[in-house]
Amino acid sequence: MKKTLNNLAKFETLASDHDPTTKASSANSSGITSAAFQFHHSDLFSVHFDQHPNFTEMCGIFAYLNYDVSRERRYILEVLFNGLRRLEYRGYDSAGISIDSSSVAGAVRSPSDPPLVFRQEGNIESLVKSVYQEVSATDLNLEESFSVHAGIAHTRWATHGEPAPRNSHPQSSGAENDFLVVHNGVITNYEVLKQSLLRHGYTFESETDTEVIPKLAKFVFDKANEGGDQTVTFSEVVLEVMRHLEGAYALIFKSRHYPNELIACKRGSPLLLGVKEFAEEQNNGTSYNEMNFISKNGHPKELFLSSDPHALVEHTKKVLVIEDSEVVDIKDGGVTILKFDNGKRKDGKSLSRPASVQRALSILEMEVEQISKGKYKYYMQKEIHEQPESLTTTMRGRLIRGGSSKRKSVLLGGLKDHLKTIRRSRRIVFIGCGTSYNAALAARPILEELCGIPVMMEIASDLLDRQAPVYRDDTTIFVSQSGETADTLNALEYALENGALCVGITNTVGSSVARNTHCGVHINAGSEIGVASTKAYTSQIVVMAMVALAIGADTISTKQRREGIIESLLNLPGKIREVLKLDEEMKELARSLISEQSLLMFGRGYNYATALEGALKVKEVALMHSEGILAGEMKHGPLALVDETLPIVVIATRDQCFSKQQSVIQQLKARKGRLIVMCTEGDAAAVCGGSCRVIEVPQVVDCLQPVVNIVPLQLLAYHLTVLRGYNVDQPRNLAKSVTTE
Ligand code: AGP
């Protein structure tokens, strides 16, 4: 079996050595520069295959601790709520927070002050509303100032137990909230732990796997203090709890026994620490100190813990990527990191002894604008409209036009050492899910044409269900925006076991796809926050077209064709700018479809994928039934559905399938079909003689036409959703990253 290279150097991000302008924009969706990751990436978003990645829960965790910086309760609440808003795309069916209760004026907080817990079903705004309602009902003082305070927060996408306050986090050790935990991941041995805790008299309120954790912490704490002398430290309690946990998790603990202290730890699920330090002489929060290490004690500071960088960037760019088996203890203005030597003992049962480790901070190369909606109302809208820029970044430094011969070529640093092997492959097998699968389908014809190698398409779950044959001389290409999709990761593990060369195409540096494949290409589309994938889709197609150009680079007979494609790639952002001008027209079209039950999309050749992807967008956000249909299959069933009421989009832009699509249109018209035809600019009359609705799009080279053609359909899905009154960015029942099987 080929050795997996857990090294980002083997994974193409940007060929910046060919374009000095690329440096500033080289952060990708993870937001952390690859340079920084040379030191810290190794366990980022790490999901080890022996830790059941297929059951990882999709949630967001966040914490805010202010030390020696005076903050009012209202401010603390808002920081926690904003953190959750940034993480909401990770899960949005329930949320919760914990903050300190009011103490007697001037008194030191004591174990008799149980923290307050607020939990609510629904989105973050439902939580915010319920917290302020409770605050006013209980006269909680929002102006009370805390020079030190530790708050924790959670946004959930349910897997264990329905969305309900009792199943929301923080989960508690019991009525007095001795220990509180927010959790992203899953505890696979929770049933066993629950049974033993039940035997020790603990009662359970939720159906979550998480609830065993705070209860176990209380059990450990009570046992250690049976003599009445409280000497066990918070980190000792958590370390002991970790010894008993199996599964994947990122956890943050808060306890009334350890006021103003937080403990975080992780195995498998992502976790970052953000640090904002203030100069000692100015503790009023105005002077931000730029240090590369976290000062030990005493300095005023604000510390943040988060599942991903989106919730940190508005506060600080100094981050520490917490690695697997590390325990972070935030106390008295200092941060101590303890690390187990190995995740597990050799017998696989428990963890070895932890040792303190020194870590340098990394710089987050992410701007707030990247993760804010800017002038747009929704992320999906913003991400559709920023495609000219995201595509430019995807191609930057990778298309070479130069030399006296004006030769045009493609350089993909992460693939160049593997091109020979790929060219010798018996097959290329694309593997992905949802939009990523569709992007691969759109790129398949150009791979076949330029590489002359059979290209197979596999939906990751189906490949696994069939245990389909994968061979040592196959090149498998894993396509995933997040790089964390469970089905895709399981298929990757399967392909590795079968000895295939594994190539990754992902938007996320440090993701499992990036780390566990032999080589690959980052699509560099920037953070995609809307659950519906839009700009990642177009960047994926462009990357795969570049992969085809790189593999086919030494074939003389296709030189002209390749150069034409490169020229068209260079002009693509301008064409996308043109097609985005259809926004208003698509809104009009959406208005005419608002009450429909169903929408069909017919495509073929390069644009079969466009039909599938357009339909996926409509069904996933507009919650309208929509099917992408291969036009060649029309007469084998779908034609029966055609009547004067059912709207049908037919993609008939100019390529080798054009005349066949013209014939499809004629047949649909003969059955009084209600047609919306997408055609090349100037073709409207020729294509449907003025008797159907037309979407005219600019023409580009055939293999890139799907990149242009999908944009009006993305806009259509977006407007349909808004007009139908549904949530654009967080569609019902869906989460951005599908890390469960
Ligand atoms: C896209 O709009 C969907 N949200 C979904 O199909 C997605 O593309 C799929 O879950 C795969 O995700 P990945 O690209 O992160 O692997």
* pLDDT digits 0-9 by tens, 255-268: 999 999 999 999 87
Range with top average pLDDT, 48-57, 163-172, 269-278: 163-172
Q: Which tens digits make up the pLDDT trace of 511-529?
A: 889 888 999 999 999 989 9
User: How far, in Å, from the CA of 613 to the mean position of ligand 1?
Assistant: 11
What does the pLDDT read at residue 612? 98
Tokens of 200: 């020790």
pLDDT band, residue 234 (cuts 50/70/90): very high
Confirm or reject: Cβ of 539 under 6 Å from ligand 1: no
User: How far, in Å, from the CA of 537 to the mean position of ligand 1?
Assistant: 9
What does the pLDDT read at residue 456? 97
pLDDT band, residue 352 (cuts 50/70/90): low
Confirm or reject: Cβ of 620 under 6 Å from ligand 1: yes
Average pLDDT over residues 109-133: 88
Residue 356 or 76, more confident: 76
What does the pLDDT read at residue 299? 81
Using the atom order of ligand 1, give the atom closest to the CA of residue 433: 11
Alpha-carbon distance 272 to 31, whole Å? 12
Tokens of 717: 């899905």
User: Are the C-beta atoms of residues 384 and 376 closer than 8 Å to each other?
Assistant: no
DSSP 8-state assignment for residue 42: T
Residue 355 confidence (pLDDT) above 80: yes
Average pLDDT over residues 246-261: 93
Task: Give the residue carrying structure tokens 């189906």.
Answer: 462
With H, G, I as helix, E, B as strand and everything else as coil, classify residue 63: strand
pLDDT band, residue 582 (cuts 50/70/90): very high
Average pLDDT over residues 191-197: 96
Alpha-carbon distance 567 to 589, whole Å? 33
State how far Cα 100 lies from the chain centre. 32
**Which residue minimizes the CA distance to atom 2 of ligand 1?**
532
What does the pLDDT read at residue 292? 58
pLDDT band, residue 23 (cuts 50/70/90): very low
Identity of residue 639: L
Question: Please, is 514 exposed, middle or buried when counting C-beta atoms within 10 Å of its C-beta (0-12, 13-18, 19+)?
Answer: buried
Nearest to 380 by CA among 94, 692, 618: 618
Average pLDDT over residues 313-323: 91
Average pLDDT over residues 580-593: 97
What does the pLDDT read at residue 740? 64
From residue 166, alpha-carbon distances to 60, 98, 134, 169, 733 in Å are: 17, 14, 17, 8, 19
pLDDT band, residue 89 (cuts 50/70/90): confident
Counting ligand 1 atoms within 8 A of each CB, the residue from 431, 433, 508 with the most, and so the one to mutate, is: 433
What does the pLDDT read at residue 17? 32
Nearest to 736 by CA among 433, 422, 346: 433
- Determine the Cα angle at 396 with ends 390 and 399, to 5°: 125
Confirm or reject: Cβ of 504 under 6 Å from ligand 1: no
Using the atom order of ligand 1, give the atom closest to the CA of residue 534: 2
Q: Which tens digits make up the pLDDT trace of 140-149?
A: 999 999 999 9
Confirm or reject: Cβ of 531 under 6 Å from ligand 1: yes
Average pLDDT, the chain: 86
CB-based contacts of 24: which residues, under 8 Å, 6+ apart?
A: none
Average pLDDT over residues 174-201: 94
CB-based contacts of 735: which residues, under 8 Å, 6+ apart?
A: 58, 89, 90, 91, 92, 157, 531
Confirm or reject: Cβ of 506 under 6 Å from ligand 1: no
What does the pLDDT read at residue 188? 86
What does the pLDDT read at residue 40? 23
**Which residue minimizes the CA distance to atom 5 of ligand 1?**
434
pLDDT band, residue 73 (cuts 50/70/90): very high
Task: Give the residue carrying structure tokens 């290279």.
Answer: 5
User: How far, in Å, from the CA of 280 to the mean position of ligand 1?
Assistant: 47
Tokens of 95: 């949320």
Average pLDDT over residues 704-709: 98
Nearest to 541 by CA among 589, 505, 567, 577: 505
Nearest to 250 by CA among 439, 417, 65, 47: 47
Using the atom order of ligand 1, give the atom closest to the CA of residue 736: 4
Using the atom order of ligand 1, give the atom closest to the CA of residue 536: 14
Least confident of 63-67, 262-266, 305-309, 458-462: 305-309
Alpha-carbon distance 250 to 193, whole Å? 18
Confirm or reject: Cβ of 436 under 6 Å from ligand 1: yes
Using the atom order of ligand 1, give the atom closest to the CA of residue 617: 2
Confirm or reject: Cβ of 543 under 6 Å from ligand 1: no
Using the atom order of ligand 1, give the atom closest to the CA of residue 616: 2
User: How far, in Å, from the CA of 507 to the mean position of ligand 1?
Assistant: 12
Residue 22 confidence (pLDDT) above 50: no
User: How far, in Å, from the CA of 303 to the mean position of ligand 1?
Assistant: 32
Phi-psi region of 298 (alpha: psi -120 to 50; beta: other; left: phi over 0): left
Counting ligand 1 atoms within 8 A of each CB, the residue from 58, 479, 534, 738 with the most, and so the one to mutate, is: 738
Confirm or reject: Cβ of 652 under 6 Å from ligand 1: no
User: How far, in Å, from the CA of 114 to the mean position of ligand 1?
Assistant: 42
Residue 301 confidence (pLDDT) above 80: yes
Counting ligand 1 atoms within 8 A of each CB, the residue from 533, 612, 730 with the most, and so the one to mutate, is: 533
Please state whether beta strands 501-506 and 474-480 pair in parallel, antiparallel, or not at all (unpaired).
parallel
H or E element at residue 94: strand 94-99
Average pLDDT over residues 290-294: 58
Phi-psi region of 644 (alpha: psi -120 to 50; beta: other; left: phi over 0): alpha
What does the pLDDT read at residue 734? 80
**Does the pTM exceed 0.85?**
no
User: Are the C-beta atoms of residues 679 and 657 closer than 8 Å to each other?
Assistant: no
Average pLDDT over residues 692-713: 97
The phi, psi pair for 286, rounded to 5°, reads -100, -30
Confirm or reject: Cβ of 699 under 6 Å from ligand 1: no
pLDDT band, residue 360 (cuts 50/70/90): confident
**Which residue minimizes the CA distance to atom 7 of ligand 1?**
434
Nearest to 534 by CA among 378, 669, 650: 378
Residue 105 confidence (pLDDT) above 70: no
Using the atom order of ligand 1, give the atom closest to the CA of residue 734: 4
Residue 315 confidence (pLDDT) above 80: yes
Average pLDDT over residues 102-118: 70
What does the pLDDT read at residue 107? 53
**Which residue minimizes the CA distance to atom 9 of ligand 1?**
434
Q: Which tens digits make up the pLDDT trace of 367-417?
A: 777 788 889 999 999 999 999 999 999 999 999 876 655 678 899 989 999
Residue 16 confidence (pLDDT) above 50: no
From residue 342, alpha-carbon distances to 31, 322, 338 in Å are: 28, 15, 12
Residue 45 confidence (pLDDT) above 70: no
What does the pLDDT read at residue 291? 54
pLDDT band, residue 186 (cuts 50/70/90): confident
**Which residue minimizes the CA distance to atom 6 of ligand 1?**
434
- Per the DSSP assignment, residues forming a β-bridge with 649 are 601, 676
What is the distance between the terminal CA atoms of the chain, rounded to a whole angstrom? 26
The phi, psi pair for 737, rounded to 5°, reads -115, 115
Nearest to 532 by CA among 383, 408, 374, 395: 383
Counting ligand 1 atoms within 8 A of each CB, the residue from 29, 430, 436 with the most, and so the one to mutate, is: 436
Using the atom order of ligand 1, give the atom closest to the CA of residue 531: 4
Catalytic residues: 59
Confirm or reject: Cβ of 307 under 6 Å from ligand 1: no
Average pLDDT over residues 310-335: 92
